[in-house]
């Protein structure tokens, strides 16, 4: 386990060390999840669909689009009836 000490600035801003940002692919505009567990905090880098499915990521996104389109058609039919 690695440990880093960071300073909290105005409005609660912290700076994540550059080596940690590079390691986890965090860049400006990235979203992180802040998890509160008892008296501890954890920052999680959420995985997108592409990285969650590795080499099949592009195919997984296409499948998700097809499912979404199919569901949209179902909802439209339900609303019309």
**Average pLDDT of the chain to the nearest whole number:** 87
pLDDT in tens, 39-71: 999 999 887 766 666 667 678 778 888 999 999
The pTM of this model reads 0.56
Question: What phi and psi values does residue 53 have, to the nearest 5 degrees?
Answer: -105, 10
| Strand, coil or helix: 29 | coil
Residue ranges of domains in the chain: 1-46, 47-81
Q: What is the DSSP letter of 59?
A: H
20: exposed, middle or buried (Cβ count in 10 Å: 0-12, 13-18, 19+): middle
Q: 1-46 has which fold?
A: Pemi-like Protein 1; Chain: D (2.10.260)
DSSP state of 8: B
Q: Are 49 and 64 in contact (CB under 8 A)?
A: yes
pLDDT, average across residues 36-40: 95
């Amino acid at each position: 386990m690695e440990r880093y000490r960071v300073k909290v600035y105005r409005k609660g801003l912290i700076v994540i060390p550059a080596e940690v940002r590079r390691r986890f692919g965090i860049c400006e505009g990235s979203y992180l999840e802040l998890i509160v567990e008892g008296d501890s905090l954890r920052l999680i880098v959420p995985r997108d669909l592409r990285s969650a499915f590795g080499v099949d990521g592009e195919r997984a996104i296409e499948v998700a689009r097809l499912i979404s389109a199919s569901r949209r058609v179902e909802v439209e039919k339900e609303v019309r009836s």
